[in-house]
Amino acid sequence: MDGQYLPMSEAKISVLDWGFLHSDATYDTVHVWDGRFFRLDMHLDRFLRGMERLRMKLPYSRVEIQAILTNCVALSGHKCAYVDMICTRGASPTFSRDPRQAENRFIAFAVPFGSVANKEQLERGLHINISDTVRIPPKSIDPSIKNCHWLDLVKGLFDAYDYGAETALVVDANDNIAEGPGFNVFTVKDGRLRTPVYSVLPGITRQTVFDLCSELGLSAAAGDVGRGELKAADEVFITSTAGGIMPVTKIDDAAVGDGKVGAVTCKLMDLYWKKHADPAWSIPVSYP
């Protein structure tokens, strides 16, 4: 923060920052696995595109941001990390209500790698609940700008906990499936993959699934996915930088397929993790 490297306990922002008071910020999260950044370029692309769309500017170049992220990981010592880069609108020294007068701020940090699904859930598959909460529509906020507007997703989570499930999917304005708190979702039916296209973040792990499918010769397409289609799928999995590809074996009160983690899901999970050592998909961090 502000050109300094600090322990996480000291990483704090002003309560007057618009990034806090108005959630006026964009961010991205990349992960480091076994000492290597995974697809960092794609995360930087999305982060810089989001900043531009929100009309934010930083005094750092792309190369400098990459160096800061690398330093955060190296100094933290984490071999498997969850690495955040955040740009906030900042605050105006005069309490002005004009966002053009605020000084945009950059924050980056590395914490231990976290996953949506824990080890047990990765092995048996997650139990997910479809909430009636509607994801904030694109006419309100462009979902391709990765943002912190999560109250709808948090509502979905609480709905899911009330239901007795482990996590949630929320719907779009047409009652099709949208996404969950920090993840996209895929269905597999007769060997073909589908994922929602509207009112969702274009996730990097979601894109990675398309790339892996292409390598494996699997058909994968983005389009509307109804509640019925989701429940009738042979396999379902979610995707997130926080955990990669994670199986779902129960939706609401019914098993997905035969209730076991499916073959296509397993094949994709396997290839996904193999790619983490591939220099075409990852770059090493130099630790001190």
> By C-beta, is 41 or 84 nearer to a copy of itself?
84
What's the closest the beta carbon of residue 99 comes to a copy of itself, in angstroms? Answer: 6
What's the closest the beta carbon of residue 148 comes to a copy of itself, in angstroms? Answer: 5
Please provide the DSSP assignment of 46-98 as one string: HHHHHHHHTT---S--HHHHHHHHHHHHHHH--SSEEEEEEEE----TT--S-
Please provide the DSSP assignment of 187-214 as one string: EEETTEEEE--SSS---HHHHHHHHHHH
Write out the H or E segment, with its range, that includes residue 218. none
Show the DSSP H helices in 102-203 as ranges: 119-124, 151-163
What's the closest the beta carbon of residue 152 comes to a copy of itself, in angstroms? Answer: 5
> By C-beta, is 116 or 209 nearer to a copy of itself?
116
Question: Which residue type is seen at 57?
Answer: K
**For the stretch 238-276, what's the b/e string if a residue is b when 16 or more beta carbons lie within 10 angstroms of its beta carbon?**
bbbbbbbbbbbbbbeeeebbeeebbebbeebbebbeebb
- Using the rule CB under 8 A, give the single segment among 37-45, 132-140, 204-212, 256-264 that binds a copy of itself: 132-140
Q: How far apart are CA 145 and CA 142, in angstroms?
A: 6
The only residue of 79, 124, 149, 267 in contact with a copy of itself, by rule CB under 8 A? 149
Question: Which residue type is seen at 279?
Answer: P
Spatial CB neighbours of 286, under 8 Å, sequence gap ≥ 6? 70, 74
What's the closest the beta carbon of residue 23 comes to a copy of itself, in angstroms? Answer: 4
Residue 125, interface with a copy of itself (CB under 8 A)? no
Residue 13, interface with a copy of itself (CB under 8 A)? yes
Burial of 141 (0-12, 13-18, 19+ CB in 10 A): middle
Three-state secondary structure call for residue 261: coil
Residue 181, interface with a copy of itself (CB under 8 A)? yes
Residue 237, interface with a copy of itself (CB under 8 A)? no
- State both tokens at 160: 């899911």
Residue 226, interface with a copy of itself (CB under 8 A)? no
Residue 134, interface with a copy of itself (CB under 8 A)? yes
> By C-beta, is 102 or 230 nearer to a copy of itself?
102
Q: How far apart are CA 262 and CA 66, in angstroms?
A: 37
The only residue of 152, 159, 211, 252 in contact with a copy of itself, by rule CB under 8 A? 152
What's the closest the beta carbon of residue 288 comes to a copy of itself, in angstroms? Answer: 23
Build a one-symbol-per-residue string for 68-107: x at contacts with a copy of itself by CB under 8 A, - elsewhere.
----------------x-x--x-----x-xxxx------x
What's the closest the beta carbon of residue 248 comes to a copy of itself, in angstroms? Answer: 16
Chain positions contacting a copy of itself, by CB under 8 A: 8-9, 11-16, 18-24, 27, 54-55, 84, 86, 89, 95, 97-100, 107, 109, 111-112, 114, 116, 133-137, 139-141, 145, 147-155, 157-158, 161, 173, 181-182, 242
